[in-house]
C-alpha cells in the first residue's frame, strides 16, 4: 500500500452553531478499510446530544426567518460551496481513507468531484426558478362569490437526515443542500463508518458561513439507535434516509407514530439487459460496474441478462474483463476498486458468495479475499454464471463486487426477469437499435434506466426507486418537493 496522505479530521460535532464534543466526552475510532489502521477519533454522541441538536433545529426553524428568506439562503449556500471548494483536497483524502473509495472515483467521479460541482450550485439556482407560489384561475363560488386561489409550497420544517457509508459526502451534501435550499433546518446523522466527511462539512458551516445557529446540526455516534431518535421525535417533521431496505422499513414503521414525511432511497438489484443485436464486446463492459467501489452502490447493475443465443460469448467477454479489473490500494489512481468498508461487510459478502455456490450457481471467477492483499477488507471481483433469478445471489442485495449472469430467451423474457425483483431502483438496456432499447426500457419498473450507455446521474434528474427500493425522489424539482408541504389559500377576488 502507498503511504496515505496525512489528514486533519474534525473530531467535533456541530450543535446549535457550535463545534462541540460529545456531552459524555466519549469518542470512537474511524478505521481505514484498506489498511485496517485507525485514522482518527470522533465524538461519540448520545441520545442526549441528538435531542439537543433536534431542539436547536426546531428553534431555528420556528424563530428565525430562514424558512422565508430566499436570498439569504442562497447567500449562505454559496458560502458553503466556496468553503467546501477551499477544503476540496482535504475532503477528497478523507473520503478515500474513511470509505476506501478509489481515488479515481473521488477525484473525478461521484464520491467528491461531481457532487462538489453541482450538489449545492443547482439548488442555489433552483431557489430563483422554483414555483414557490402558483395562482389558479379565479372561480365564482355560490356562497362566497368570486374567489382567487393560490397554491404555496412551504418548508416541511425540521429534517432528520440519516446517511450511509458507501458514498458518504455525495449523499450527505445532496440532502443538506436540498433541505436548506427549500427553507428547512436539518440534523445530519452520518454512518459510524464514515463520520469525517460530515464533521468537515460541520466545520466549514461553523467557520465559513453565515448559516444561523441551529439551522444545520451534525451528530456523530457509534450507535445506530442514536439516529433513530430523529424518527421518534415529534419535533422532527421529515426523515431523509439513504440506506438498506430493512432499515428503511423500520423508519417507516417507527415514524408512523408522529406521521413523519419520508424520503427513503433504499436498496437495489439492478439488471443490465443486453439485447441480442447489441455490440456485445462493448455492451459486456458494463460488468466492470460491480468493481466500481467494490460494488458498494445501490444502483450498480449486479445482474447481467444475456440472450441465450449469445450467452457463452458474453460470459467469455465478462470473465476476461473482470479478470483484468484493476483493484487494490485506493490511493492508486489506476484502481477502480478498493476494499469493502469493514470486516463485517466483507464477511457479509463472503456469506452471499457461499450461498450462491450452495444454490448451484457456477463460481466462474473470484469468490474470496485476494491472496496478494492480506491487509484490508478486500474481496476479489466475482462472477457467477448459470444463475437462476430465484437464487439469493440474484434476488438479494449483496453490496459487493459480485456479478450474476442470467440467460434469457427473448425481449419479453428479459423484461420479466428484470422486473421479477422486490427492488426497483435502476437498470440498463443496450441494443443496436435505440427504438428497441427504449421500448424495453419503458417496460422496466425502476426509478431510473440507462439506455445505450446514457447516464441519469445529474442534479436535475429525479432519483429514487419503485417497490422495496424506496419512497420519493431526490434531485430536480421533485427533490425540492420532497422537502416541502403544500398550502392552498383562497380569498375574495377584488
The CATH number covering residue 208 comes to 3.40.605.10
For 256-301, the pLDDT digits (tens) are 999 999 999 999 999 999 999 999 999 999 999 999 999 999 999 9
Residues 389 and 253 in one domain: no
Residues 197 and 336 in one domain: no
Is residue 4 in a domain? no
Residues 435 and 371 in one domain: yes
Mean pLDDT of the chain: 97
Q: How far apart are CA 355 and CA 146, in angstroms?
A: 69
Q: How many domains does the chain have?
A: 2
Residues 291 and 252 in one domain: no
Q: How far apart are CA 479 and CA 490, in angstroms?
A: 27
Per-residue confidence (pLDDT) for residue 142, from 0 to 100: 78
Is residue 8 in a domain? no
Residues 477 and 421 in one domain: no
Name the E strands within 211-341.
216-218, 238-242, 261-265, 270-274, 301-307
* pLDDT score of 86 more than 80: yes
Reduce the DSSP state of residue 440 to 3 states and report it.
helix
Per-residue confidence (pLDDT) for residue 175, from 0 to 100: 98
Is residue 5 in a domain? no
pLDDT band at residue 1 under the 50/70/90 scheme: confident
For 386-409, the pLDDT digits (tens) are 999 999 999 999 999 999 999 999
Q: Domain limits at 487?
A: 13-266+470-491
Residues 252 and 275 in one domain: no
For 461-486, the pLDDT digits (tens) are 999 999 999 999 999 999 999 999 99
Q: How far apart are CA 278 and CA 177, in angstroms?
A: 40
Quote the pTM value.
0.96
For 162-211, the pLDDT digits (tens) are 999 999 999 999 999 999 999 999 999 999 999 999 999 999 999 999 99
Residues 445 and 487 in one domain: no
pLDDT band at residue 2 under the 50/70/90 scheme: confident
Short-list 50, 66, 44, CA closest to 15:
50
Residues 119 and 215 in one domain: yes
Residues 230 and 167 in one domain: yes
Residues 226 and 325 in one domain: no
Is residue 1 in a domain? no
Residues 161 and 205 in one domain: yes
**Residue 446: CB atoms within 10 Å:** 25
Per-residue confidence (pLDDT) for residue 283, from 0 to 100: 98
The CATH number covering residue 319 comes to 3.40.309.10
Instruction: Just list the catalytic residues.
Output: 265, 298
* pLDDT score of 494 more than 80: no
Per-residue confidence (pLDDT) for residue 139, from 0 to 100: 93
pLDDT band at residue 143 under the 50/70/90 scheme: confident
For 200-225, the pLDDT digits (tens) are 999 999 999 999 999 999 999 999 89
Amino acid at each position: 500500500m502507498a503511504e496515505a496522505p496525512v489528514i486533519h479530521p474534525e473530531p467535533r460535532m456541530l450543535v446549535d452553531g457550535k463545534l462541540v464534543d460529545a456531552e459524555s466526552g466519549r469518542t470512537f475510532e474511524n478505521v481505514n478499510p484498506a489498511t485496517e489502521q485507525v485514522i482518527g477519533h470522533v465524538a461519540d454522541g448520545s441520545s442526549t446530544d441528538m435531542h439537543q441538536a433536534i431542539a436547536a433545529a426546531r428553534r431555528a426553524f420556528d424563530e428565525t426567518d430562514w424558512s422565508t428568506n430566499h436570498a439569504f439562503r442562497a447567500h449562505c449556500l454559496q458560502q458553503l460551496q466556496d468553503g467546501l471548494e477551499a477544503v476540496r483536497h482535504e475532503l477528497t483524502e478523507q473520503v478515500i481513507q474513511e470509505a476506501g473509495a478509489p481515488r479515481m472515483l473521488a477525484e473525478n467521479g461521484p464520491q467528491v468531484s461531481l457532487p462538489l460541482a453541482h450538489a449545492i450550485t443547482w439548488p442555489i439556482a433552483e431557489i430563483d426558478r422554483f414555483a414557490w407560489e402558483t395562482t389558479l384561475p379565479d372561480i365564482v363560488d355560490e356562497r362566497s362569490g368570486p374567489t382567487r386561489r393560490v397554491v404555496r409550497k412551504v418548508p416541511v420544517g425540521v429534517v432528520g437526515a440519516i446517511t450511509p457509508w458507501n458514498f458518504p459526502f455525495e449523499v450527505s451534501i445532496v440532502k443538506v443542500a436540498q433541505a436548506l435550499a427549500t427553507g428547512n433546518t436539518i440534523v445530519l446523522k452520518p454512518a459510524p463508518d464514515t463520520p469525517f466527511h460530515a464533521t468537515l462539512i460541520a466545520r466549514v458551516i461553523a467557520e465559513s458561513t453565515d448559516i444561523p445557529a441551529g439551522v444545520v446540526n451534525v451528530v456523530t455516534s457509534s450507535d445506530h439507535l442514536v439516529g433513530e431518535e430523529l424518527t421518534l421525535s415529534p419535533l422532527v417533521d421529515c426523515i431523509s434516509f439513504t440506506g438498506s431496505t430493512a432499515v428503511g422499513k423500520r423508519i417507516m414503521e417507527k415514524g408512523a407514530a408522529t406521521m413523519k414525511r419520508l424520503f427513503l432511497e433504499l436498496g437495489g438489484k439492478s439488471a443490465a439487459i443486453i439485447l441480442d443485436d447489441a455490440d456485445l464486446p462493448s455492451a459486456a463492459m458494463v460488468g466492470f460496474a460491480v468493481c466500481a467501489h467494490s460494488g458498494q452502490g445501490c444502483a450498480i447493475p449486479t445482474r447481467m441478462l444475456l440472450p441465450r443465443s449469445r450467452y457463452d460469448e458474453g460470459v467469455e467477454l465478462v470473465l476476461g474483463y473482470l479478470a483484468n479489473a484493476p483493484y487494490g490500494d485506493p490511493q492508486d489512481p489506476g484502481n477502480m476498486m478498493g476494499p469493502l468498508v469493514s470486516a463485517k461487510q466483507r464477511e457479509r459478502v463472503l456469506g452471499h458468495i457461499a450461498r450462491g455456490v450452495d444454490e448451484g450457481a457456477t463460481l466462474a471467477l473470484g469468490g474470496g479475499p485476494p491472496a496478494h492483499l492480506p491487509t484490508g477488507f478486500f474481496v476479489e471481483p466475482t462472477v457467477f454464471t448459470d444463475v437462476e433469478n430465484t437464487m439469493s445471489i440474484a434476488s438479494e442485495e449483496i453490496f459487493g463486487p459480485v456479478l450474476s449472469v442470467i440467460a434469457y430467451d427473448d425481449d419479453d423474457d428479459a423484461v420479466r426477469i428484470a422486473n421479477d425483483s422486490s427492488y426497483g431502483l435502476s437498470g440498463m438496456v443496450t441494443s443496436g437499435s435505440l427504438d428497441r432499447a427504449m421500448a424495453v426500457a419503458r417496460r422496466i419498473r425502476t426509478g431510473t434506466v440507462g439506455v445505450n450507455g446514457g447516464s441519469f446521474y445529474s442534479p436535475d434528474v429525479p432519483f429514487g426507486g419503485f417497490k422495496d427500493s424506496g419512497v420519493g425522489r431526490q434531485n430536480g424539482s421533485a427533490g425540492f418537493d420532497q422537502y416541502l408541504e403544500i398550502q392552498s389559500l383562497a380569498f375574495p377576488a377584488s
